[in-house]
Amino acid sequence: MFSKSRRLTAIVLVLGLAPLLLSEADAQDLRVTLLGTGTPTPRPDRFGPATLVEAGSKILLFDAGRGVSLRIWQLDIPLRDIDAVFVTHFHHDHISGLADLWLTGWLPPPFGQRKQALQVFGPTGIKEVTQGLLAAYAQDIDLRVADEGLPRAGATFDVIEFSSSGSIYDQDGVKVTAFVVNHGELIKPAYGYRIDFAGRSVLISGDTKFDERVIEAGKGVDVVIHEVVAAEERLFEKYPALVAIKDHHTTPEEAGIVFHEIQPKLAVYTHLVRLSAPDIPELDLSDLVKQTRRTYQGPLVVGHDLMTIEVGENVVVYDRR
């Protein structure tokens, strides 16, 4: 499914080996691209949370944060080619790009042309979200159907809701398993996802505090993609209101425990919650690594937008920007 234009020949990092050139023969069947590694902070270098998984014939999207349509099109992937969207929870930064993906993928230019419903998986409540979008954009949809002759079916949703952990998707050899995570007492439902294909596997934590269920779901996976929160301790002393944000996420030391227990071929940070204030700057990325090393010594990278991880016999990391 990977076209020549997207099988990049570039210097890449193969974990445990020296850097080498990625060739046609090295392309793997399971590929993960971090489309957005940011938070609600409106910064152009880190778009909203979104992770693309290309597995065999399927292209799956996990969360749809701000700017997700731009990132997908940067990869030369038409928006219509997204086979399914999986939502972890309903914080706006994880779903604010869903409407754009849905309707822009329906428009007639090459980036669009979807003629069928957009399939969306999510915990109980996702139907309410999509029904709200249908209501919000009803006038736009009616106008485009009448004026441009666009197929109405392409501006609909095929929604699959679930309410507990378990397998929720199994098509063409690609299996997706949802598992409950702890994003805070009031932030429910909240889920992570595990993707298995052709003997390879990737786990996406979703937003979560330290949770043993992430470790349980991650047994035997090749790659763990995990959120993280970090800041100087004096920030919380001076701005105690920020403690609540910290308490909804996983610190580097805690994430290190998760990685240590799972022992993946590669651990990857995304959704980087680096808290700061005008007088207290955010921590450097190297500080995240240093803090993680207190509890984990294995392969680790700090993700950035359009970082790609190919999962095969080796795990290969490269930049698609």
Q: Phi then psi for 176, rounded to 5 degrees?
A: -120, 125
Whether 15 maps to a domain, the answer reads: no
Whether 5 maps to a domain, the answer reads: no
Looking at residue 6, what is its pLDDT? 40
3-state SS, residue 231: coil
Whether 56 maps to a domain, the answer reads: yes
Looking at residue 11, what is its pLDDT? 35
Looking at residue 17, what is its pLDDT? 39
Q: Phi then psi for 114, rounded to 5 degrees?
A: -75, 130
Residue 254 to residue 275: CA distance in whole angstroms: 17
* Domain total in the chain: 1
Per-residue pLDDT of the chain (321 residues; tens, 9 = 90+): 444 334 443 334 444 433 333 433 344 489 999 999 999 999 999 999 999 999 999 999 999 999 999 999 999 999 999 999 999 999 999 999 999 999 999 999 999 999 999 999 999 999 999 999 999 999 999 999 999 999 999 999 999 999 999 999 999 999 999 999 999 999 999 999 999 999 999 999 999 999 999 999 999 999 999 999 999 999 999 999 999 999 999 999 999 999 999 999 999 999 999 999 999 999 999 999 999 999 999 999 999 999 999 999 899 999 988
Looking at residue 302, what is its pLDDT? 98
Q: How far is CA 47 from CA 60, 242, 303, in A?
A: 18, 22, 12
Whether 235 maps to a domain, the answer reads: yes
N- to C-terminal Cα separation, the chain? 20
- At 219, which CATH number? 3.60.15.10
Looking at residue 10, what is its pLDDT? 37
Whether 112 maps to a domain, the answer reads: yes
Whether 148 maps to a domain, the answer reads: yes
Residue 320 to residue 33: CA distance in whole angstroms: 8
- Cβ atoms of 29 and 56 closer than 8 Å: yes
Looking at residue 20, what is its pLDDT? 38
Q: Phi then psi for 131, rounded to 5 degrees?
A: -65, -35
Looking at residue 72, what is its pLDDT? 98
Looking at residue 18, what is its pLDDT? 37
Q: How far is CA 268 from CA 132, 149, 265, 292, in A?
A: 34, 44, 10, 11
Structural domain that includes position 305: 27-316
